[in-house]
Amino acid sequence: MEVSAPYALTAEVTHRCPLHCPYCSNPLELQKRENELSADEWLRVLDEASELGIVQVHFTGGEPLLRPDTELLIRRARELGLFTNLITSGVGATDQRIKQLAEAGLDSIQLSVQAPEAELADRIAGFKAHDLKRQAAQAIRGGGLPLHMNAVLHRHNIYLVEDIIELCVGWGAARLELANTQYYGWAFMNRRNLLPSRNQLSAAEEAYHRAKERFGKQIELIWVIPDYYAEFPKPCMGGWGKLSLTVTPDGRVLPCTAASGIKTLDFESVKERNLAWIWQDSPAFNAFRGFDWMAEPCRSCDRRFQDYGGCRCQAFLLTGDAQQTDPVCKWSPHHATVSQFVAAYSAHTPDDNELDSNSYRHSPNFSYRGR
């Protein structure tokens, strides 16, 4: 089948991060600093990405500002005519660093926030970062860069949606992504303590719509659907190997950031292969392109043209078989793995409106992720 050029590259330049967020989608087996691609290797990846037809690069991690050569990579991307975005915790985003990023040609920054007030935000992040984020927002705006923000929602902050939006407006954000937790990596390990109740979710959606009406065009608000509560799954990155790719800190190339969790696939590395060959010809990228690989009910379902069978990573996590219909789908033969989990844990302790750091971090259901 003919394969079109990818639109975007997610460049995971490191897995190192000062934060320890329990909802992190990074893999359980984080790459160490000594395994990271060198600056020269990343420069070659950017050259190959441009030749492949990619137009956007999202530098992320971990915390990309922990690499002193981030500006070098951004400058090369700018020289290649690529749009560049930096996704950061804000730790290390000083006035001087932001100035250097802007001078290198960075187009925009996405800053994460955990909660609208410092105590809860710092407890969720496992690091006193909230005030540093406020300072980072000021530095970003002062440096003339567009400020985009994201907040991952879960049972410990979802009841504060309006306050989070108000905070981001106050910090000068032009765009805010309200991303209900997607359960991969560390988030999957911790999902019992992250899953909101149905009542929390309904109240949050109402708060989101109130805020859209209240703030209008002052800020662009994006609501990422919580698929454990959805009738049908989200499209798999717009289709597996269709729109974007991810390069991990050690050089493996994935169709999405969570794909390393599929243990039945071998993903090629930019250390051994050209990016174009990996995108067009590698077995992993071709594994779920098109529709021939699909099992029923997807194979004969009209929705396959909308959701491509749903998420392959989620199918593997919940069934052990990445070819299965995403269990989020109400027609999936494995849907009970989702519905029973929601029934069992959507109302379980700790209290919906509180986060006790000691019981949360040391709970047998919680994995505290040090870097």
Cα-Cα end-to-end distance for the chain = 41
Annotated binding site for [4Fe-4S] cluster: 17, 21, 24
CA of residue 262 relative to chain centroid, distance: 17
Q: Answer yes or no: are the C-beta atoms of 26 and 250 closer than 8 Å.
A: no
Annotated binding site: 17, 21, 24
Burial of 83 (0-12, 13-18, 19+ CB in 10 A): middle
Q: Answer yes or no: are the C-beta atoms of 284 and 265 closer than 8 Å.
A: yes
Say how far apart CA 276 and CA 35 lie, in whole Å. 23
Number of Cβ within a 10 Å radius of residue 334: 17
Instruction: Report CA dihedral (368, 313, 267, 21) to the nearest 10 degrees.
Output: -20
Say how far apart CA 318 and CA 334 lie, in whole Å. 8
